[in-house]
Amino acid sequence: MKNSNLHTSRTPAILGLIILLVGGIWSVVHYAASEKERDLRAWETLLGVVAESRAQSVNQWIDAQYAVVRELTENASLRFYLSQTAAGEGGDSVETQAAQTGYLRNLLETTAERTGFSAQSRQSKVQANVGSASDSGLVIIDKAGKVIVETAGFHSDETLKATLLRAIESGKPSLQDLYENPRGEVVVGFAIPVFAVQPGASGPQAIAAVAGVKRARDELYPLLLRKGTLTSADETLLVRREGEAIAFVSPLADGTAPLRKRVSLSTANLAEAEALSKPGGFSLKQDYSGREVLMVSRDFRQTPWVLVQKIDASEALKESRDHQRFLLASLVFGVLVIGAGLVAAWWHGASVKDRSIAESLREKSIELATQSALLQSVVDGTPDLVFTVEQDQLKFCNKAFGSLVDEAPDALRGKTLSSVVGPAIAHRIEAVVAESSKTSKAVSRMLDLQGSAMARHEYFTALPIPSAEGTSLVLCLARDMTAEQEAQSKRQALMKQIVGVLTCIVDSYDPYCGEHSMRTALVAGAIARELELDDASVEVLDMAAKLANVGKMFLPRELLTKPEPLTIEEQQLMHLHVQHSVEVLKVIDFEGPVIDVIAQKSEHLDGSGYPAGLKEPQLLLESRILAVANAFVAMVSARAYRAGVPIEETLDRLLNESGSKYDRHVVAALFHVAENRPEWISWSAPSSTVS
Rounded-to-integer distance, Cα 307 and Cα 299, Å: 6
Residues 74-121+132-219: name the CATH superfamily. Answer: PAS domain (3.30.450.20)
pTM of the model: 0.47
Which H/E stretch holds residue 141?
strand 137-142
Residue 204 · residue 195 · CB < 8 Å: yes
Amino acid 101: pLDDT: 85
The dotted CATH code for 486-684 is 1.10.3210.10
Question: DSSP letters of 185-249?
Answer: -EEEEEEEEEE-SS-BTTB--EEEEEEEEEEHHHHTGGGGS-SS-SSTT-EEEEEEEETTEEEE-
N- to C-terminal Cα separation, the chain: 123
332-354 as b/e: b if 16+ CB within 10 A: eeeeeeeeeeeeeeeeeeeeeee
Residue 446 · residue 481 · CB < 8 Å: yes
Residue 299 · residue 279 · CB < 8 Å: yes
Better-scored residue on pLDDT, 417 or 501: 417
Mean pLDDT of 495-522: 71
Residue 524 · residue 626 · CB < 8 Å: yes
Amino acid 495: pLDDT: 63
Residues 384-480: name the CATH superfamily. Answer: PAS domain (3.30.450.20)
3-class DSSP state of 593: coil
Other beta carbons less than 10 A from residue 539's beta carbon = 19
Least confident of 247-256, 329-338, 432-441: 329-338
CATH 1.10.3210.10 in the chain, residue ranges: 486-684
Rounded-to-integer distance, Cα 509 and Cα 463, Å: 56
Write the pLDDT tens digit of every residue in 572-598.
888 888 898 889 888 888 888 999 999
Rounded-to-integer distance, Cα 213 and Cα 206, Å: 20
Residue 560 · residue 594 · CB < 8 Å: no
Amino acid 303: pLDDT: 93
CATH 3.30.450.20 in the chain, residue ranges: 74-121+132-219, 384-480
Angle between helices 621-636 and 516-530 (to 10 degrees): 130
Work out the mean pLDDT of the chain and round it to a whole number.
82
